[in-house]
Amino acid sequence: MSTLSVGNEKWKEWLLNYSLYVILGVLIIAVVVMEPTFLSFDNLSKIMAQASTRGILALGVAGMIVYTGTDLSAGRILGCCAAISASLLQSVTYASRMYPGITEPLPLALPLLLAMAVGMMFCCLNAFGFAVLKMHPFIISLGTQLIAYGALCLYIDSQAGGAQPLASLDPRYISVVNGSFDIGFMKLPYLVVYLAICSAVMWVIWNKTTIGKNMFAIGGNPEAAAVSGVNVVRNIFQVYLIAGMLYGIAAFLEAGRVQSVTTATGLNYDLDAISGCVIGGVSFTGGVGTIPGVLVGVIILQVINYSLYYLGVNAYFQYIIKGLIIIMAVAIDVRKYISKK
Amino acid sequence: MKPRSSCMFVAICAVIACLFASVASAAAPNIGVLIYKYDDTYISTVRNALTKALDGKATMTMQDGKGDQATQNDQLDVMISKKMDGLIVNMVDAQAAAGVLEKIKAAGIPVVFFNREPNLDVLKTYDKSVFVGTNAADAGKMQGDIIKQLWENKAFDLNGDGKFQYVMFKGEPDNPEAIARTEFSVKQAALNGVTMDQIGQTFVCNWDTALAQQAMESALAANEGKIELVIANNDSMAMGAIAALSNVGYNLEGGSKFIPVIGVDATDQAVDAIGKGIMSATVKQDGEAMGQAVATIMLNMAAGKAPLDGTSYTYDDSGIAVRIPYSPFMGK
């Protein structure tokens, strides 16, 4: 009717479109109000570094959610791949290392590639169940998760000294993962750079290649995509294999970040990755999602984690608050799609 | 819709802040405490003792590592950012201590590790660090001595073959305490002249009651009548085994059929069970004394004094670790 209400509409639409960023902003402001010291480059770089491995994992899971699927096995697959990287990169002077035969440090790329290969293998199994056997990804990945966990336990238990955590890692490995660039006013952790590279590559795949375009077509309407000539099975395998590579990279980095791999490594990482995606607007109804969204989702989750620790909130309340914030963030974000329909 | 939601959000945050944010007092040091997992019975005892001992003398912030080393690393980052005056760390995975120590050392914060034992040679690289723990092998050895005492009651040799047939419940596969208890309980019993004979594989039940109950149920289904003794790395798993036994008519209060069950920790539940006669014995890991020792040493270090200044504690041979002794408990 009047110009005022038109302005109001625009304002509302802007808020809806950028709701994620608004939530992130409000969250940070709220924490800073409670604890002004929170606002520092040191905290920023730590939050970003912590978000990096989960972020890379989430970039892989996001594709599966676009298909209306999910991946419950991501965490345990990460555990397996991390065990492989760590076992091959234990310091060669550590007496009870897993492979006493390795007396010269291996090139760092080799364990990374192996971890990626193992990640791809497990994802292949998931893709086979989903695309060929027509199982729901929830079920197939539930099975894969147990297989990956069993494999991880067997691998860790196969050491000469029994089930020992895989620790005492090669100093080169630790510095490649945990190092940082000094850019004057703050430290830029390598981990953040790795996340940025992975995100850029994934953005290109999602937006500029047929793999990405077909993925969204299948996620939006699989029958229509098949009828219009999309090779659904091939596309699913492509997306899952890319996810497997990302799991391998995330695992390689996570093992170096924590500097010890046990049978518990990776537990519940899948749920973190899925929550990150969902907060970031990757819709469970399929066909919707963006890479920047995933990144913001993962960062929001990490800001919540970090700030709850920072504020010294009681550990059990942390779960409740985190749950409430996730529900609220998603509730606000989905309005964007409701209003468009 | 949106603006209202954000207002609500800010309101919620404000309420949260009022409820939980800690208020720092001026003089007391800020102590950060990292716990491996809140819902562990023994650690809860230490946690409570620690909280009590620090009350009024320090401002304490405690975090739950939720059994995940990556989570604990994240929490440590925060504690360092907040420039704590002292840190108390109960590692999730003791082998990851090198990386953790590196960060603490770079920040120059005094630290007391407790319970899960990091490599002491790594700890020695930082002069502001101390470890308070137990001697992992001792708990196993005490179990071995208890087994000897039980064995003297020949009634437990059900099949009369002169061997003690036992099932073993182990904590986590790669936990040093679990490994030591599993190994030394049987070794010590053998040294004491008892012939030990294990039935089936060792059950790895992650210190957990429910998992141990499941495992014991299947062990009983396969071997009922052959099991003469249950050895568990902790009381939580021992309780699980007793629950399974009671389901098939053993170890009931005032019942006639009894299979000895021994654990470690002397949790309230286990002490109660021993009192009722449905459990044989446990080894007391003194959580109260542990919490007290950690707090006292931390306060000394945060005040810039020598760690053991004015206390009755002494270092063991390593020169950096304080050991809180175990004691056997077989009922009052």
CA separation for the pair B321, B315 (Å, rounded): 5
> What pLDDT is attached to residue B1?
42
Contacts of A165 in chain B (CB under 8 A): 93-96, 174
Domain parsing of chain A, residue ranges: 38-340
Contacts of B16 in chain A (CB under 8 A): 311, 313, 317, 321
Q: Which residue of A has its CA nearest to B95?
A: A167
Where is average pLDDT lowest: A186-190, A191-195, B9-13, B265-269? B9-13
Residue contact B174–A260, C-beta within 8 A:
no
Which tens digits make up the pLDDT trace of A208-247? 999 999 999 999 999 999 999 999 999 999 999 999 999 9
Domain B137-284 bears CATH identifier 3.30.70.360: no
User: Percentage helix, strand, coil, to 5, in chain B?
Assistant: 45, 15, 35
Contacts of A321 in chain B (CB under 8 A): 16
Looking up tokens 């470890």 gives B131
CA separation for the pair A95, A305 (Å, rounded): 37
State chain A's mean pLDDT as an integer.
91
CA separation for the pair B237, B211 (Å, rounded): 8
CA dihedral (B279, B282, B287, B289) positive or negative: positive
* Nearest Cα residue to A298 out of A320, A282, A318, A319: A282
The DSSP bridge pattern shows strands B282-285 and B326-329 to be antiparallel
Chain B nearest CA to A245, separation (Å): 21
**Partner residue facing B173 (CB), from A40, A163, A328:** A163
Residue type, A218: I
Which tens digits make up the pLDDT trace of A277-288? 999 989 888 899
Contacts of A19 in chain B (CB under 8 A): 2
**Candidates A8, A259, A324, partner chain B, best to mutate (most B CBs within 10 A):** A259
Where is average pLDDT lowest: A65-69, A200-204, B56-60, B283-287? B283-287
Query: And the tokens for A294?
Result: 């995933």
CA separation for the pair B163, B178 (Å, rounded): 24
> What pLDDT is attached to residue A208?
97
* Nearest Cα residue to A222 out of A238, A243, A236: A236
The conformation of residue B323, written as its DSSP 8-state character, comes to E
- Please name the residues in contact with A160: beta carbons below 8 A apart, sequence gap of 6 or more: A96, A98, A100
Q: What SS3 class is residue B170?
A: strand
- Of the pLDDT bands very low, low, confident and very high (cuts 50, 70, 90), residue A335 is confident
- Asked if B277 is an interface residue toward chain A (Cβ–Cβ < 8 A), one would say no
Chain A nearest CA to B253, separation (Å): 36
Contacts of B47 in chain A (CB under 8 A): none
Q: Which residue of B has its CA nearest to A19?
A: B2
> What pLDDT is attached to residue B4?
55
Residues 68-87 (B) with a CB less than 8 A from some CB of A: 68-70, 73-75, 77-79, 81-82
- Of the pLDDT bands very low, low, confident and very high (cuts 50, 70, 90), residue B318 is very high
Contacts of B5 in chain A (CB under 8 A): 328, 332
Q: What SS3 class is residue B116?
A: coil
Where is average pLDDT lowest: A1-15, A93-107, B193-207? A1-15
Contacts of A264 in chain B (CB under 8 A): 67-69, 92-93, 172
Residue contact A15–B3, C-beta within 8 A:
yes
CA separation for the pair B278, A2 (Å, rounded): 81
- Of the pLDDT bands very low, low, confident and very high (cuts 50, 70, 90), residue A84 is very high
Say how many Å lie between the first and final Cα of chain B, rounded: 65
> What pLDDT is attached to residue B22?
43
The conformation of residue B316, written as its DSSP 8-state character, comes to -
Residue contact A260–B63, C-beta within 8 A:
no
> What pLDDT is attached to residue A270?
93
Which tens digits make up the pLDDT trace of B234-291? 999 999 999 999 988 999 988 889 999 999 988 888 999 999 999 999 999 888 999 9
* Nearest Cα residue to A218 out of A66, A70, A100: A66
Asked if A125 and A241 touch (Cβ cutoff 8 Å), the reply is no
- Of the pLDDT bands very low, low, confident and very high (cuts 50, 70, 90), residue B155 is confident
Contacts of A262 in chain B (CB under 8 A): 69, 93, 95, 174
Residue B186, pLDDT above cutoff 90: yes
Which tens digits make up the pLDDT trace of A105-129? 999 999 999 999 999 999 999 999 9
Query: And the tokens for A182?
Result: 């000094």
> What pLDDT is attached to residue B124?
95
Which tens digits make up the pLDDT trace of B91-144? 999 989 999 999 999 999 999 999 999 999 999 999 999 999 988 899 999 999
Residue contact A317–B20, C-beta within 8 A:
yes
> What pLDDT is attached to residue B113?
97
Q: What SS3 class is residue A55?
A: helix
Q: What SS3 class is residue A182?
A: strand
Contacts of B22 in chain A (CB under 8 A): 312
Residue A3, pLDDT above cutoff 80: no
- Asked if B199 is an interface residue toward chain A (Cβ–Cβ < 8 A), one would say no
CB neighbourhood size of B155 (10 A): 9
Instruction: Tell me the Ramachandran region of residue B189: left when phi exceeds 0, alpha when psi lies from -120 to 50, beta otherwise.
Output: alpha
- DSSP H helices in chain B: 2-20, 41-54, 69-81, 97-107, 120-123, 136-151, 176-191, 209-223, 235-247, 268-276, 287-302
Length of chain B equals: 332
Instruction: Please give the model's pTM, rounded to 2 decimal places.
Output: 0.79
The conformation of residue B208, written as its DSSP 8-state character, comes to -
Chain B nearest CA to A162, separation (Å): 8
Which tens digits make up the pLDDT trace of B286-313? 889 999 999 999 999 999 999 999 999 9
Residue type, B97: A
Contacts of A27 in chain B (CB under 8 A): 9
Chains A, B: CB contacts under 8 A, how many? 138
Q: What SS3 class is residue B197?
A: strand
Asked if A77 and A125 touch (Cβ cutoff 8 Å), the reply is no
Asked if A299 and A47 touch (Cβ cutoff 8 Å), the reply is yes
- Phi and psi (nearest 5°) for A307? -75, -30
CA separation for the pair B32, B62 (Å, rounded): 6
- Asked if B247 is an interface residue toward chain A (Cβ–Cβ < 8 A), one would say no
CA A325 to mean position of chain CA atoms:
19
Residue type, B100: V
**Partner residue facing B20 (CB), from A31, A40, A313:** A313
Chain B nearest CA to A164, separation (Å): 5
Q: Percentage of residues in chain B with pLDDT exceeding 70?
A: 92
Looking up tokens 């676009």 gives A66
Contacts of A313 in chain B (CB under 8 A): 16, 20-21
Which tens digits make up the pLDDT trace of A5-25? 567 788 888 877 788 888 888
Residue contact B1–A335, C-beta within 8 A:
yes
> What pLDDT is attached to residue A211?
96
Residue A83, pLDDT above cutoff 90: yes
Domain B24-133+286-327 bears CATH identifier 3.20.20.80: no
- Of the pLDDT bands very low, low, confident and very high (cuts 50, 70, 90), residue B40 is confident
Q: What SS3 class is residue B169?
A: strand
Please state which CATH class domain A38-340 belongs to: mainly alpha
Q: What SS3 class is residue A127?
A: helix
B204, β-bridge pairs:
B170
Asked if A88 and A106 touch (Cβ cutoff 8 Å), the reply is yes
Residue contact B10–A26, C-beta within 8 A:
yes
Residue contact B77–A315, C-beta within 8 A:
no
More confident residue, B319 or A3: B319
> What pLDDT is attached to residue B21?
45
Contacts of A34 in chain B (CB under 8 A): 13-14, 17, 21
Residues 126-155 (B) with a CB less than 8 A from some CB of A: none
Which tens digits make up the pLDDT trace of A293-304? 999 999 999 999
Which tens digits make up the pLDDT trace of A118-175? 999 999 999 999 999 999 999 999 999 999 999 999 999 898 877 778 988 999 999 9
The conformation of residue A129, written as its DSSP 8-state character, comes to I
Element (DSSP H or E) covering residue B113: strand B111-114
Asked if B203 and B227 touch (Cβ cutoff 8 Å), the reply is no
Residue contact A264–B20, C-beta within 8 A:
no
Residue B14, pLDDT above cutoff 70: no
Query: And the tokens for B49?
Result: 């003792």
- Asked if B23 is an interface residue toward chain A (Cβ–Cβ < 8 A), one would say no
Residue contact B73–A258, C-beta within 8 A:
yes
Q: What SS3 class is residue B231?
A: strand
CA separation for the pair B160, B243 (Å, rounded): 26
What's the rounded mean pLDDT across residues A255-276? 91
Asked if B297 and B303 touch (Cβ cutoff 8 Å), the reply is no
* Nearest Cα residue to B116 out of B80, B169, B69: B69
> What pLDDT is attached to residue A155?
94
CA A2 to mean position of chain CA atoms:
46
Asked if A141 and A73 touch (Cβ cutoff 8 Å), the reply is yes
A164, β-bridge pairs:
none
- Asked if B24 is an interface residue toward chain A (Cβ–Cβ < 8 A), one would say no
Query: And the tokens for B200?
Result: 């089936």
Domain parsing of chain B, residue ranges: 24-133+286-327, 137-284
Which ipTM did the prediction report?
0.78
State chain B's mean pLDDT as an integer.
89
Contacts of A15 in chain B (CB under 8 A): 2-3
Asked if B134 and B323 touch (Cβ cutoff 8 Å), the reply is yes
CA separation for the pair B135, B20 (Å, rounded): 37
CA separation for the pair B258, B158 (Å, rounded): 11
Residue contact A312–B22, C-beta within 8 A:
yes
CA separation for the pair B94, B176 (Å, rounded): 9
